[in-house]
Structure 1
Amino acid sequence: MGDNIGPSSFTILATGQIECAQIPNCTNAYLKFQFVAGEDWQLLDGLEEGITQAARVPEGRDGVLVWNFPIDITYKTTNAFGWPQLVVAVYGLDMFGRDVIKGYGCMHLPMSAGRYNLTLRLFKPRSASALQSFTSWLTGMPAEFSDPKFPSYGEGREVTRVQSGGHVKVQINLLTKDMDVFGYVDGSGRDMATVTQM
């Protein structure tokens, strides 16, 4: 008789693309992205961080920056705590041609298998005073987070002054494997087959 040993972890696979962005008064920008996951999550395949090409809004168009940059990442874990998040930072040129932050955004990957068209709202830090704001503008160094993963943290965000501005569209296809073995419902309906009727 062979032992029926179940899987030692469950797996999620996310593919798709960072499609485009609309940001007020921004006609030229690129995007840096990274996936942030908890300590129990192990990267199996794909890139956890990357940078898109620069996109430019054509003259007379509707203000959409198009990247269509592919994303493809696979994780395994035994614990849903620390579910992966996608963190983005968009950089563009100011009126003097300097590279400055245009906005940050963060979202958890979906928890159910399926295809998703998501909108990620952007925000950027505000200077603490009018003098700081003027100095930042003069030097071309606006307020920026020192840790690019900061938007994914819960701590400290409630005291951060930010202003909203624009959004990024992301298309994600998510697959899960063996979540039901660890007691998680992924919404696919496959786990219902293991529930016995009383």
Structure 2
Amino acid sequence: MGDTARHFTLMFTGQLEHAEISSCDNAYCKYLLVYGDDWRILDGVEDGITQVTRKAGPDGHLVWNFPLDVTFKSTNAFGWPQLVLSVFEVDRFGRDVIKGYGCVHLPIAAGRHVRKVQLYRPLSASLLQQFTSWIAGNPAEFTDAKFPAMGHGREVTRVRSTGVATVNLNVMIKDMATFGYTEEAGPAHHDF
């Protein structure tokens, strides 16, 4: 009697490395993993928050080097996990001000991967609301942290690009071939 796998396993380790946001002097990042109904976390956490960092060095990056470590199991590739980032600045009044949202699918191939995650923030619906939020120091935010990972409703959302975040990931895959998927190594660097 053979020992057939009941699910495939994916392990993602790495780090939220840094962000490049020109209009931001300090920042922290909240992250969240969004995945389909057939996916389960075997080990690790699905959300977290980094420390606050300040711009440093000649390149002016906001460096977190915050560790990521999560293991999933599934029988279906539908709902492949996505990493959602929400970057906030602490302003001079101690308020958390959104500086950018971003989302990227976790790599589908084993190996080391570098992902550049484009950051953006929503714009208010009218010029009056934009002016009022600028005066109050309270820009428009998404009400649901998972919204950047969802397709529904995004086509009517106006956003402004704010920067880019870099994520390094190491991916290990087990038993995907059992479910009809190929397990090939992919390219190490993508700018998404």
TM category, shorter: over 0.9
1:155 and 2:152 are equivalent in the alignment: yes
Partner of 1:181: 178
Whichever of the two has the greater Rg, that structure is: 1
1:41 and 2:31 are equivalent in the alignment: no
- Cα drift, residue 95 of structure 1: 5.8
Q: 2:19 aligns with which of 4, 18, 21?
A: 21
Counterpart amino acid of 1:153? M
Deviations 1:28-83 (A, max 9, x none): 0000001111000011000100000000013x743200000000000000000000
Structural RMSD (CA): 1.5
Does the residue aligned with 2:65 lie in a helix, a strand or coil? strand
Number of residue pairs the alignment of both structures matches = 186
- Cα drift, residue 97 of structure 1: 4.8
Does the residue aligned with 1:133 lie in a helix, a strand or coil? helix
Counterpart amino acid of 1:111? I
1:68 and 2:51 are equivalent in the alignment: no
Q: Give aligned-pair identity as a percent.
A: 57
Name the TM-score, length of structure 1 as normaliser. 0.90
Does the residue aligned with 1:146 lie in a helix, a strand or coil? coil
Partner of 1:192: none
Q: 1:135 aligns with which of 132, 136, 140?
A: 132
Counterpart amino acid of 1:184? Y
1:93 and 2:90 are equivalent in the alignment: yes
Structure 2: runs of 5 or more not aligned: 187-192
The separation in 2 between residues aligned to 1:88 and 1:186, in whole angstroms, is: 27
How do 1:94-133 residues align onto structure 2 when only pairs under 5 Å count? 94=91, 96-133=93-130
